[in-house]
Amino acid sequence: MNKVIEYARELIARRSVTPEDAGCQAWLADRLRPLGFVIEPVVHGEVTNLWARRGSGAPLVCFAGHTDVVPTGPLEKWSYDPFTPTQSDDWLYGRGAADMKGSIAAFLAAVEDFVAAHPHHPGSIAWLITSDEEGPAIDGTVRVVERLAARGETIDYCIVGEPTCAERFGDTLKNGRRGSLHGRLAVQGVQGHIAYPHLARNPIHLAAPAIAELDATVWDEGNEYFPPTTWQISNIHGGTGATNVIPGHVDIVFNFRFSTASTVEGLQARVRDILDRHGLRYDLDWELGAKPYLTPRGDLVEALSAAIRASAGVEPALSTTGGTSDGRFIADIAREVVEFGPVNQTIHKIDECVGVGELEMLTDVYRRTLESLLRV
């Protein structure tokens, strides 16, 4: 059996539903120590993190990812037990096969091959692994980044193994992600009997014109790498449940997915301007879920792209679409951050799977990228 498949099976078999690691990182550490990596566990609460480094020179190439997986959903709907890795034809099935234990297996196989061929390579190689990516992401990668920042340790190139490909292996690199800004808005009115509206002020009616303007606003035009910023309501609630009562307030939860063409402060100010212009009485609380980050074309994008062309015969497109990833934390201490992994069509689904050939090509891509960045 190809060793990357063996490693993927080993990891999938561990029931590491977030925030559990289920021994994945200890198993990785046991494989990395003989290669000369210094192992540094970083545990916070229920979350297990791993920082491992080989070498002390520059540049530092870091492989980043997560060992936690999402819950399985109804077991009876799976074709195979989700924690019994099963190969059928050219597919390996199991929870985490694509997101992202397959990538971690490819990291390991690539690093083993690279170190065997270049035991005295220049620069350094590191691993940053967490069990809190699929959860709240409070005690995971961000804690490791804080520790590294406190001692002045930075990363030159970081490869995050998230499943990025849309249709076929190699078609997409993620060279950035949009930011996520949540707002919780409570518009105040005056509660009253629905038959006597002149004695009340309906907050839903009052808020409606402002909502229409917020929806119609062009927040920015995006840029070369990002689509325009979007504003969406995710929840809205008003009323007591009775059919004859005008509510006293309406609660609205909304979200911006924003590009580097906008700032948090700018978006917040524009929302308040619209609400004030409509004469609303309101309370508004904000929560920044993620800052946007971007790695323009440079050493890392070019090295990965060349490796993908050589291994898969595909020219990858650059993309910043999708949700958030831990790249948003790593970008604080890393010069260049790019995500690349297998096809993402089955992630978080019943019968999650990854192509056996994908894992073999992914190993080759990671090895070639190491060779390019460390110039061996």
CA dist 21 and 29 (Å) reads 13
**88: buried, middle or exposed (CB in 10 Å: 19+, 13-18, 0-12)?**
exposed
The reply to whether 40 belongs to the active site is no
Compute the residue count for the chain: 376
CA dist 179 → 184, 186, 220, 260 (Å)? 17, 23, 14, 8
User: How far apart are alpha carbons 51 and 138 in whole angstroms?
Assistant: 17
The strand ranges marked E within 55-145 are 60-66, 86-88, 91-93, 124-130
Contact 172, 317 (CB under 8 A): yes
Selecting among 113, 132, 133, 134, the annotated active-site residue is: 133
The pair of three-digit structure tokens given for residue 161, joined into one six-digit string: 């193994």
Q: How far apart are the first and last CA of the chain?
A: 28
What is the distance between the alpha carbons of residues 276 and 121, in angstroms, rounded to a whole number?
A: 61
| Of 68, 162, 336, 358, catalytic | 68
- Active-site residue flag, 68: yes
Q: Which residues are catalytic?
A: 68, 133
